Chain A
Amino acid sequence: MSSLVVPGQPLGSASAYIPGPGVHIFNGQIIASLVGQVVTTTPPSSSSSSSTNTTTTTTPTPTISVQKPILSTTATEEPNATLLPEVSSTVLCRITRINTRQATASIFSVNDHICGDEFQGVIRVQDVRLTEVDKVKIFNSFRPGDIVRARVISLGDQSNYYLSTAGNELGVIMADSEMGDQMYPINWREMKSTRTGVVEERKVAKPF
């Protein structure tokens, strides 16, 4: 377990393992593509499913992967430089610009990991919410400076990732009012200022 592997090093036959992250297949062999430790995880033998299907699966195929150890124990606080947004990853972003068609956002966190660099994304008006899409107005959903939880729906064009906030748990999670004080959500489409009590419209994410 503790021995380290380097890229190009064969780890075993492709038929014996399911390739996980950090490995690739070449000539029927599983080959490491990172420097790190080899991890094999056997999926918990879901006895219920295997017994219902009367297939003769003796032991489930283990997944093999290579992981690069991280120095700090609080791995989530260290910016992960090789992290890129992927389709269906959940991101946190800051709204930078809005117009009637879309809101432009700057992604700073992907799947609860801080990125090394900020990525640009857009939330188009049709991706703001799930229902009554044609009634959505960007102006009533986001304002520049809002912190938004969104999901990547496409890698988009050359410069923007396409994001969506269609979903209960997606939308604005932190926002300041026009006066500049913090607001708290009062329902799925409104937030209220802590100081003045002014209510502003937002596409609000469901608090956990």
Chain B
Amino acid sequence: MAAKAPDRRRNNPPSHGTTPPVFLSSASSGAVKPKQSSRPPNEIRKIFLRTGLISSVTGSSFLEIAPLKLSISVLGPRPLPRTSSTPFAAQAILTTEVKFAPFASTVRRGYVRDSSERDLGSRLYQALVGAIRRELYPKSRIEVVVTILDSEDEGDDVNTVYMEEGKTTVETKFWDAGRSERALGVVLAGCITAASAALADAGIEMFDLVSGGVATSFVDEVGLKGKGVGDAVSNKLYVRDPAIAPPEGKVPLATCVLGYMAARDEISELWISGKVGTKNGTAEMDELVDEAIAAARSARGVLNEAAKERVQFIVDKTGTTEPLKEESTDVQMTG
């Protein structure tokens, strides 16, 4: 314990250095683009989720959903910075930070977080803050740091505009404003699911795990051209965990992203963008929300297993089915 008082003004790296995670290279090196079309709309893409990959932080996780790859570190509970501006906090203060790696999207991003990254951060905060038992960690700070390593985004080929000499060929798809919401939605849902796993890995007490779900409603392209708004209700197609490319001949109407606590049946974070027509009540919105909840439920299954996986590994390794804690309770009894 020869460590000096840490510098609280910065995000301190661990004093003993870090070891970068080493991933096994996949056996089949020829990367095949996953076929999107074969997936039924009510099925989410396969999720790869692991915890405890970064040994120098309290908890960590790594998530992969098709092209999306992100890694999450949880630091703390650590003491609050020693500035006079921080008031006494009876509950832990949660901070969330989402950063796209500069190479994570088609168009390079800078190192300074831009407004959409900050926005994702505050959404993630909203999704998690209710689930953490913050009253158990007074005067402390829990940090969730998300690094998005790769993402599916607007630059994919479906979206390219052909500009030639003299004339411009612009496909209608180009004007699809819902694409960016879908891309961000998938990222946010992934962040929520992975952050829950990382918090569980850190051993921070939670009321429930929060899993993220996305759903998008699509309508027929032709049905929309003629009249518009009100008539487009029929022929609706709900797609859970939507990919960037819309289904053939469909245009997106609205996207719903939510953080869902399955055991309590409560929504901790909700973000709907796009038209969910409601001239006669909230039925359309309900359907969309139910689809997103169903997606979140599917993700929850993966989340549960991922959260258990590492603990199971430890249990297997220590070889005791009985927890070690037995002696310590005895000590308490005598003392």
Contact = CB atoms under 8 A, between A and B. Distances in A.
A in complex with B: yes
Interface of A: 1-2, 4, 6-10, 22, 24, 26, 31, 33-37, 39, 41, 44, 67-71, 73, 75, 81-82, 84, 96, 106, 108, 114, 116-120, 155, 157-159, 161
A27 to B, nearest CB: 9
Interface of B: 1, 3, 5-6, 58, 76-80, 82, 84, 86-89, 131, 133, 137-140, 200-209, 261-264, 303-304, 307-308, 311-312, 314-315, 317-318, 321-325, 329, 333
Nearest to A38: B323
Nearest to A39: B323
Given A34-B205, A116-B78, A158-B88, 4 more contacts: A7-B307, A68-B311, A106-B5, A157-B88
A24 B133 contact: yes
A6 B305 CA distance: 9
Given A7-B206, A34-B203, A116-B78, A158 B87 contact: yes
Given A31-B207, A31-B263, A158 B314 contact: no
Given A2-B321, A4-B315, A69-B315, A84 B89 contact: no
B314 A71 contact: yes
A2 B304 CA distance: 16
Contacts of B314: 69-71
B88 A8 contact: no
B204 A82 contact: yes
A60 B77 CA distance: 35
Contacts of A26: 207, 264
Give the dominant DSSP class at B's interface: loop
B233 to A, nearest CB: 36
Contacts of A81: 58, 76-77, 202-203
A106 B138 CA distance: 18
A163 to B, nearest CB: 14
A4 B139 CA distance: 30
A118 B80 CA distance: 11
B333 to A, nearest CB: 7
A19 to B, nearest CB: 12
14 contacts: A6-B200, A7-B206, A8-B206, A8-B207, A8-B264, A26-B207, A34-B203, A37-B315, A81-B203, A82-B77, A84-B137, A84-B139, A155-B138, A159-B86
Contacts of B303: 6
Contacts of A33: 133, 205-207
Nearest to B82: A159
Q: Which of A9, A35, A71 has the most CB of B within 10 A?
A: A35
Contacts of B264: 8, 26
Contacts of B82: 120, 159
A69 B324 contact: yes
Contacts of B89: 158
A108 B1 contact: yes
Nearest to B304: A6
Contacts of A155: 88, 138-139
Nearest to B329: A41
B79 A73 contact: no
A1 B322 contact: yes
Contacts of A106: 5
A117 to B, nearest CB: 4
Contacts of A157: 88
Contacts of B131: 7
B133 A82 contact: no
A46 B65 CA distance: 55
A8 B132 CA distance: 11
The 8 closest A-B pairs by CB, nearest first: A8-B263, A8-B208, A2-B321, A81-B58, A33-B205, A7-B206, A117-B78, A4-B308
A92 B88 CA distance: 23
